[in-house]
Structure 1
C-alpha cells in the first residue's frame, strides 16, 4: 500500500475513534427520518402482513410503528422512504 494512503487511513481511524468516544465532533451527520409507516402502507395498498413481509419485519414491529410506540430507524427508515417514492421498484426488486 502506498505510504501516503496508509497514513490517511490511519488518520481516519484515529478520527473515527475520537468521534466514537465523544472527543471530537463528526464533520457531518446524516439523519434519515422515516415517513408514516401506515400512510406508506395504505398508499401502496397492502395489508399489514403483506407490508411487513415486504419490509422484512414482523407484523408486531409494523404495528408498533403504525401506532407510534416505536419508530423505524436506520435501514428500515431508509427503506420506508424508498417504498414511499418508488413502490414499484421496491416490489420488483424485493420479489425478484
Structure 2
C-alpha cells in the first residue's frame, strides 16, 4: 500500500473516532427515509398478500415492515418510493 493512501486511511479513522465521541461534527450526514409500507399498500388498495406478491416478498416480511419490526432496504425501499410517488405507472409496469 502506498504511504499516502495509508496516511489518508489513518486520518479517516482518527476523524471517525472523534465524531463518534462527540469531539467533532460529521462533515455530512445523510438521512434516508423509507415510506411507510402500510400507508403505501393502503394508498393503492391492495391486500397484504396482493401487495407482498407485487413486491416479491413474503407476507411475513410485509407484516414486519408494516408493524415496524423491520425496515425495507435497498431495492424494496426504492420500489416503495416509486409505488408511493407514481402508483399507476408502478402497477402498470409490475403487472405487465
TM class by smaller structure:
0.5 to 0.7
Greater relative contact order (Cα < 8 A, sep 6+): 1
Q: Which residue of 2 aligns with 1:92?
A: 92
Number of positions where the alignment pairs a residue of Structure 1 with one of Structure 2:
74
Q: Which residue of 2 aligns with 1:76?
A: 76
Contact kept? 1:33, 1:73, Cα under 8 Å? no
SS at match of 1:82: helix
Alignment pair present for 1:39 and 2:33: no
TM-score using structure 1 length: 0.67
Consecutive unaligned residues of structure 2, counting only runs of 5 or more, are 13-27
User: Aligned partners of 2:39, 2:57: CA distance in 1, in Å?
Assistant: 17
User: Aligned partners of 2:77, 2:65: CA distance in 1, in Å?
Assistant: 11
User: Aligned partners of 1:77, 1:34: CA distance in 2, in Å?
Assistant: 6
Alignment of 1:1-96 (within 5 A): 23=9, 32-96=32-96
Residue 34 (structure 1) shift? 1.2
TM-score using structure 2 length: 0.67
Consecutive unaligned residues of structure 1, counting only runs of 5 or more, are 1-17
User: Aligned partners of 1:90, 1:43: CA distance in 2, in Å?
Assistant: 13
Greater Cα radius of gyration, structure 1 or 2:
2
Q: Which residue of 2 aligns with 1:6?
A: none
